[in-house]
Amino acid sequence: MKKIRVGLIGCGRIVEVLHVPALNELKSKVEISALFDKNPAAAEKIKKYYALDAKICSAVPALLKTGIDAVIISTPNFTHYQLCMQSLNAWKHVLIEKPMAVNLRQADDMIALAKKKHLILQVNQTLRFTPEYVKIKELIDSGRIGKPLHIRCLRASSTTPDKGWSSGASWFTSKKSAGGIVMDIAVHMADFLGWCFGETEKIFAVNRTEITGNDVPDNVTAMFDFANGATGVLELSWTFPAGTGLLEVYGSKGIIRMGFSEAGLELKLGDGKYKPVKSGKVKNSHAWFVDSIKVGISGNPSPGEAGRHALAYCAAINQSAKIGRPVRLL
Ligand SMILES: NC(=O)c1ccc[n+]([C@@H]2O[C@H](COP(=O)([O-])OP(=O)(O)OC[C@H]3O[C@@H](n4cnc5c(N)ncnc54)[C@H](O)[C@@H]3O)[C@@H](O)[C@H]2O)c1
């Protein structure tokens, strides 16, 4: 069967550590045939490092004309909307990095255009494809811990992404580029909290922006008032002395936790002891994307609507922090 031909728009850190290795795992079904990065050296580096038989293009329109079926968009957040619309208009399926856009109007346009053209629009909300997180959702949905009561998540690092994750990528900490910890981390974690506990009535958030001296939040604390009566707390920082990642889910019959011991994911039922939980295998984002294009499978865990869900939480967190009051989710 013919392989899916993919073009990469943006060839930075996430392409290096995730997209190319993941596509290489699917070599029988897909090939990376074109690359474009605003910085040609970045595309050259990826091509050379992975010995890709791919054409380096000089611009997006040139890449879209190389006969590719699909693109993966991994550029700074503020560029996503325009690159996605351009790709969909050229009849390409799109896997786009999170946050899918910078506001809900853009997200709605992208979803509507993909629908109109019958193209796949998938957002790389990574946790929806990560075995431990998928297992947590399964445990909650199956009633294993009873009625959901409370969910807490702490994610902290000691540096901003331009210092740690992608050295020199200053857009991560710039408002003009839609950077900041809300668009970078809340987009994952708030989406996860909502994915697990369902509809959220209100969010109240406190953002701190002054600690790193940038014009975007570097610390966030947000409270969630879920429609099912449960509550949640999300605590994010780029300025703690050391990195931390903790997650706790309380139900009427038990507790799920992650990050507290070497066991990773653990479950405690009633007043029993915490026991390790195996998370099992999960179909990854790239396999979903390729199979959605190739054989039209349904049930994609992260379609455009999931990206919009994540963005709605980001918008509510920012709005609440701005006005100093709880806000309803849009
Ligand atoms: N899903 C995840 O867990 C995850 C993790 C990290 C980053 N991301 C997302 O991936 C995207 C890229 O992040 P990164 O860490 O690779 O950033 P990066 O700064 O390392 O790389 C971005 C690349 O895009 C290029 N670029 C900038 N503007 C462009 C344009 N208009 N057209 C083409 N190329 C352009 C830059 O030259 C750079 O090489 C961001 O949206 C980020 O939020 C997602």
Per-residue pLDDT reduced to its tens digit, 53-73: 999 999 999 999 999 999 999
Contact present, 247 and 240 (Cβ < 8 Å): no
C-alpha 66 – ligand 1 centre gap (Å): 22
SS3 of 171, please? helix
Per-residue pLDDT tens digits for 293-307: 999 889 999 999 999
Q: Which CATH architecture group holds 4-126+284-303?
A: 3-Layer(aba) Sandwich (3.40)
Closest Cα to residue 38, out of 19, 14, 63, 20? 63
pLDDT recorded at residue 20: 98
Ligand 1 shell residues, CB under 6 Å: 9-15, 36-39, 42, 74-77, 79, 97-98, 124, 126, 166, 169, 184
Q: Is beta strand 244-251 parallel, antiparallel or unpaired with respect to 148-156?
A: antiparallel
Question: Is pLDDT larger for residue 297 or for residue 97?
Answer: 97
Q: To which H or E segment does residue 256 belong?
A: strand 254-258
pLDDT recorded at residue 210: 76
In terms of CATH, what superfamily is 128-282+311-328?
Dihydrodipicolinate Reductase; domain 2 (3.30.360.10)
Per-residue pLDDT tens digits for 254-275: 999 999 999 999 999 999 999 9
Chain centroid, CA 28 distance in Å:
26
SS3 of 248, please? strand
Q: Domain residue spans in the chain?
A: 4-126+284-303, 128-282+311-328
Average pLDDT over residues 311-320: 98
C-alpha 18 – ligand 1 centre gap (Å): 12
Topology match between the domains 4-126+284-303 and 128-282+311-328: no
